[in-house]
A and B are shown apart, each in its own frame.
Chain A
Amino acid sequence: MAEPKFAAYLCKGCGIGERIDAARTAKIAEKEGKIALVRQHEFLCSAEGVALIGSDIEQQGVTHVAIAACSRRSKTEAFQFPNVALARANLREGVIWVRPDTEEARETTQEMADDYVRMACAELKKMKLPAGSPERGCSKRILVVGGGISGLTAAVEARKTGYEVVLVEKQAQLGGWAAKLWKRVPEREPHAAPVDTGIQALIDAVTEDAGVKVYTNATLAQTSGAPGRFNATIAVESGSTAIEEIGAIVQATGFSLYDMNRLPELGAGKSPNVVDQAGLESLAREAAAKGLPIRRPSDGGEVNSVVFVQCAGQRDDTGRHLPYCSGYCCNTSIKQAMYFKDANPAVDTVVIYTDLRVPGNGEDFYRSAQKKGVTFTKGRVTGVEPSGDACKVSFRDLILDEDAAIEAADLVVLATGQVANAGVDIDNPDATDANGAKPISILNLNYRQGKDLPKLSHGFADSHFICFPYETRRTGIYAAGPVRRPMDIAQAKEDATGAVLKAIQAAENAELGRAAHPRSGDLSFPMVRLDGCTQCKRCTVECPFGAIDEDEKTYPVFNESRCRRCGTCMGACPVRVISFENYSVDTVGAQIKAVDIPDEFSEKPRILVLACENDAYPALDMAGMQRNHYSAFVRVIPVRCLGSVNSIWITDALNGGYDGVMLMGCKHGDDYQCHFVTGSALAKERMSRIDETLKTMALETERVATYEVAITDIGRLPKLIEDYARLIEKIGMSPMKGFA
């Protein structure tokens, strides 16, 4: 690339010109920011303004542009210049809109604007233009792991968009659980009766399609590589192995039914007349094959009374069974009660439930069952005692608040829940699943962090369930169906469709050397200066996406296409050898240092705000849009994720005379909202250790504060800032001013 040439543009539109002294700010960009070409414009995002920048790029060879106007989140389309590094100073949402338009506020508002221009210029000087990752894979085949309803749907949907599929199924037959059902809950109007599963049509569609390579009786012996260039070693039971080149993976490995033998108190194992829902499906299939009604398993006798026990071993608060609701079982029991009622309305069918939960259009299905005479009793079953060919079902009636019993049920169906087939727990490889079984690895990834997808809670694969349900913590591998949360057929099909489309995106992005979600299209990638690396392994351990492996000398090996560009490695690195071309320890550090720090006696403290660009920064912007005012003493720098915050920024800021540092990241924990899953949690942990540093600097621990912020905290954020500014006022100005 040619010699870098810098230019800064100051917009005076949207009231910026009236509120701040543009000439003074422009001078600052020139003198302090050391930008050769500084222009002011009345309306920069207009066609004329954009053309002005464009012609400078063209005619004068400008390579680096700083725009002091609105937030970096506004006018992104107007200010989009290919092959130009861009820094934005937020004078609108970040300055004039959050400050009162009064004479006494004028000075501090002006200082705020000046600082943001200094910061943008400083950042620009440190930026390089990202060229895209050189590590590009060009395979676009989709590997679908699991041949149940989710996997088959994923395969069919991938084929519809023209992508090739490799499907691996552990069993000899495709179809999974759906193939074991007699009928399924309807997904279309009128939601009145069980319908055909439709699984055969799906199986046929997959097996007849030359674009789908099906391996049955097969498992993954190893998965290596990265999006666009995964290598899947497929081991077939017969002993042969095959290696397939893969672009992205959909893991649809489904669930195992919670083992009803763990429920002896509900009669499981004590009588053949006590079955789980799968048991009833096989009874129904056998009966249908013979053209007979369902018979009592113990003696083949007529079934006159069936009791369905909901939440069997589910929603359990004793810690012995599943603590969660599997969500599909109420509808399934309703469907199974209809098997009996549709064949013979005289059969008594009682569903004993604590809360009937019928997602989708289940409410209509429920009503249809009531019309057919299925009895629904709100109660909690306390015991099932088989005697002879009958079972006594005792329960607590929760409406009448009394103990009750059904004396002679011919069949008792236990609605047990779903246990995810999510492979081994990589944090605890010896852990058993809810059924007490020791899981075997499904993906057999050769990643440094472990063989399978990380789990979140209850053994389900971690998917970003609040915002991006298919995103797992392994780039290019998408979880679909009950492997990521309990669900029914309708939800699994929708899930599989979504996940496979994400997989296709990942493969396409990998070919272009671009980031996948959430920084999709980002061309920057982490670069490491290995000669400075101390092999501390922090980056390889902390990367939320397992993108970094280790070589034999335990140096980090970056797999760029597995990287989501969050910068958590950059935040982790104690020797600061990891950086991105347009986002590095230097680009942020330079911004921090560029701020003008008034002396101790000025009564003008400076508070650094490092705000997550996904939630906290937009919330601050929106606070500005709503004209929620906050202190003029804060200087906000957006960061890719709080996980990318390197503690050197904090110590630099405090050494430089800042009076306080606010870190704003997303909610962490089991219901995390961090776009990069663990970034905010890691930041919190790292900052908990900064107290020591503060003490050695003889500073109050309050000078660094971490906050959990959501994008909706538009009203709360200005208050937090105001409160913190008052706190700083109380503890007094930093004694560190004037030394840097």
Chain B
Amino acid sequence: MGAMNEQALAKYTNNFLREVEERVEEGDWVKMCMQCGVCAGSCPFGPDWEHSPQKIFMMIRAGKRDEVLSSDSMWMCTSCYNCVVRCPRELPITQIMHGLATYAERLGLAPKMNPTRKFSLQFWDNCTRTGRVNELKLVLQVYFRDGFVSGIGKFWDMRATGLKLLLARRMNPFELLFPHRCKDAKGIQAMLKKAYEIEDRRKGFAK
């Protein structure tokens, strides 16, 4: 990851905007922002992240590469699409935020301790392993993320909901031992591998 970062740095010296345009999903929209701030005012997570989308875009233009890529803002996006709907310039802001998050993760610059980043990684891992999301496993992973005792506590707090889910047959405890898989999990993994390859080639990441 570090190598990839250095290589990007070298290639786009002093021009982070160009780097974003070429390597970040929907990154070529960033230059179209007119700094009206409607996205910042529309975001339900407004006070909870470091930089509003408006600021992120301004920082990209100002070449603040490290600050942008290590910002927690993209990870806090809940994909509510409020900003996308309201943006007068019709920027796909949600997609750009996720694109930036993915790119930061690839370069190893994403904030390591960010809980939503952790969850995203766990979700992706859970989903791609079998081709299906194993909800029980995902829930347990999230509960026990901060250690055994805190996990038991969360588990206990949610016992009534869990019981109801069990009775309604919405949750099957055997999934933990014998998870459902999709018909061709290997095929899905091969497909994803290919997709990564194509993306790497397109965005110019060295293999």
* Further 10 A-B residue pairs, CB within 8 A, beyond A366-B34, A370-B31: A356-B34, A367-B32, A367-B89, A371-B31, A375-B17, A375-B31, A377-B58, A378-B35, A399-B58, A400-B58
Question: Would you give the shortest CB distance from A559 to chain B, in whole angstroms?
Answer: 53
Residues of A within 8 A of B35 (CB): 376, 378, 399
CA distance A339 to B172 in the complex (A): 67
Q: Contacts A399-B54, A399-B55 known; A377 to B32 CB distance under 8 Å? A: no
Question: Would you give the shortest CB distance from A572 to chain B, in whole angstroms?
Answer: 52
A-B contact count (CB 8 A): 32
B61 at the interface (CB under 8 A from A): yes
Indicate if the CB atoms of B54 and A376 lie closer than 8 Å: no
Residues of A within 8 A of B62 (CB): 377, 397, 400, 404
Q: Chain B 34-53, CB within 8 Å of chain A: the 1/0 string?
A: 11000000000000000000
Q: List 26 A-B contacts (CB under 8 A).
A: A356-B34, A367-B32, A367-B89, A370-B32, A370-B34, A371-B31, A373-B31, A375-B17, A375-B31, A375-B61, A376-B34, A376-B35, A376-B61, A377-B61, A378-B35, A378-B58, A397-B58, A397-B62, A399-B54, A399-B55, A399-B58, A400-B55, A400-B58, A400-B59, A400-B62, A404-B62
Question: Would you give the shortest CB distance from A42 to chain B, in whole angstroms?
Answer: 59
Residues of B within 8 A of A356 (CB): 34
Which B residue's beta carbon lies closest to that of A375? B61
Which B residue's beta carbon lies closest to that of A373? B31
CA distance A20 to B62 in the complex (A): 77
Residues of B within 8 A of A404 (CB): 62
Question: Would you give the shortest CB distance from A29 to chain B, in whole angstroms?
Answer: 64
Which B residue's beta carbon lies closest to that of A377? B61
| Interface, chain B (partner A; CB < 8 A) | 17, 31-32, 34-35, 54-55, 58-59, 61-62, 89
Complex interface residues of chain A between 357 and 376 (CB less than 8 A to chain B):
366-367, 370-371, 373, 375-376
Residues of B within 8 A of A370 (CB): 31-32, 34
The secondary-structure label for the interface of chain B is helix
Residues of A within 8 A of B31 (CB): 370-371, 373, 375
Residues of B within 8 A of A371 (CB): 31-32
Complex interface residues of chain A between 364 and 403 (CB less than 8 A to chain B):
366-367, 370-371, 373, 375-378, 397, 399-400
Complex interface residues of chain A between 88 and 127 (CB less than 8 A to chain B):
none
Which A residue's beta carbon lies closest to that of B17? A375
Which B residue's beta carbon lies closest to that of A401? B55
Residues of B within 8 A of A377 (CB): 58, 61-62
Which B residue's beta carbon lies closest to that of A366? B34
CA distance A400 to B31 in the complex (A): 16
Which A residue's beta carbon lies closest to that of B67? A400
Question: Would you give the shortest CB distance from A116 to chain B, in whole angstroms?
Answer: 55
Residues of A within 8 A of B54 (CB): 399
CA distance A371 to B59 in the complex (A): 18
CA distance A375 to B31 in the complex (A): 7
Residues of B within 8 A of A378 (CB): 35, 58
CA distance A393 to B59 in the complex (A): 18
CA distance A531 to B89 in the complex (A): 72
CA distance A376 to B31 in the complex (A): 8
CA distance A15 to B86 in the complex (A): 54
Question: Would you give the shortest CB distance from B37 to chain A, in whole angstroms?
Answer: 8
Question: Would you give the shortest CB distance from A486 to chain B, in whole angstroms?
Answer: 23
CA distance A366 to B32 in the complex (A): 9
Residues of A within 8 A of B32 (CB): 367, 370-371
Closest 8 CB pairs of A and B: A399-B58, A370-B32, A378-B35, A370-B31, A375-B61, A400-B58, A399-B35, A399-B55
Question: Would you give the shortest CB distance from B80 to chain A, in whole angstroms?
Answer: 23
Residues of B within 8 A of A367 (CB): 32, 89
Question: Would you give the shortest CB distance from A216 to chain B, in whole angstroms?
Answer: 44
Residues of B within 8 A of A366 (CB): 34
Question: Would you give the shortest CB distance from B91 to chain A, in whole angstroms?
Answer: 11
Question: Would you give the shortest CB distance from B70 to chain A, in whole angstroms?
Answer: 16
Residues of B within 8 A of A397 (CB): 58, 62
CA distance A397 to B62 in the complex (A): 9
Question: Would you give the shortest CB distance from B137 to chain A, in whole angstroms?
Answer: 42
Residues of A within 8 A of B58 (CB): 377-378, 397, 399-400
Which A residue's beta carbon lies closest to that of B21? A373
Which A residue's beta carbon lies closest to that of B18? A373
CA distance A378 to B33 in the complex (A): 12
Which A residue's beta carbon lies closest to that of B40? A399
Which A residue's beta carbon lies closest to that of B57? A399
Most buried by B among A370, A399, A404: A399
Residues of A within 8 A of B17 (CB): 375
Question: Would you give the shortest CB distance from B142 to chain A, in whole angstroms?
Answer: 35
CA distance A377 to B32 in the complex (A): 12
Question: Would you give the shortest CB distance from A539 to chain B, in whole angstroms?
Answer: 54
Most buried by A among B17, B59, B62: B62
Question: Would you give the shortest CB distance from B176 to chain A, in whole angstroms?
Answer: 48
Residues of A within 8 A of B59 (CB): 400
CA distance A400 to B35 in the complex (A): 11
